[in-house]
Every structure is written in C-alpha cells, then in structure tokens.
Amino acid sequence: MLVTGPRGTGAGSPADGPADEPTDGKPAETDWQRRKRLAAVFGDVLPDTTSDERDPGAGHRADGGREDPGETWLKAQVPPHHG
C-alpha cells in the first residue's frame, strides 16, 4: 500500500485522537482503573526477585520456600545430554 501526504494525517494516526477511546458513550477508564483490572485478570506475573538474586539453596519460589516436589521430579527427568 502506498501512503502519500504528510505523516500523521492518515486514518488511525495519532492526530485522530486516542485509539482506546470508547465509542459506546461510557467515559474512558483512568490509568489506575486499568491497572486494577489488569491485575485482577493476570495477577502479579513477575517475581519480586530474579533467580540470580536468590540463594541457590532456597528453591525458586518467590516466598523463599522449598521447590515444588513436582518441579524437582521434572528437573530430575532431564536427560544428561540436555543438562
């Protein structure tokens, strides 16, 4: 597709206004409302610490507890040439 004319004047460009503006007449949700809704749906997906910040003997859980027995079993099943 060939687009001519100055940048930002085509359909869907930033000059047309926010793309997430509701079309049903309801007011747009605020930033904190959006974050709250996303947190309710997805939860906290990132751990508080990364694996390189944790003690290797403390397991991999964010709360510092021991590793899940199923996780331990799964890691034990890795063939020698893969680990």
pLDDT tens track for 23-40 = 777 788 999 999 888 888
What pLDDT score was predicted for residue 63?
56
Residue pair 61/67 in contact (Cβ under 8 Å)? The answer is: yes
What pLDDT, in 10s, does the model give residues 49-73?
Answer: 777 787 776 555 555 567 778 888 9
Q: What are the residue ranges of helices labelled H in the chain?
A: 31-42, 69-76
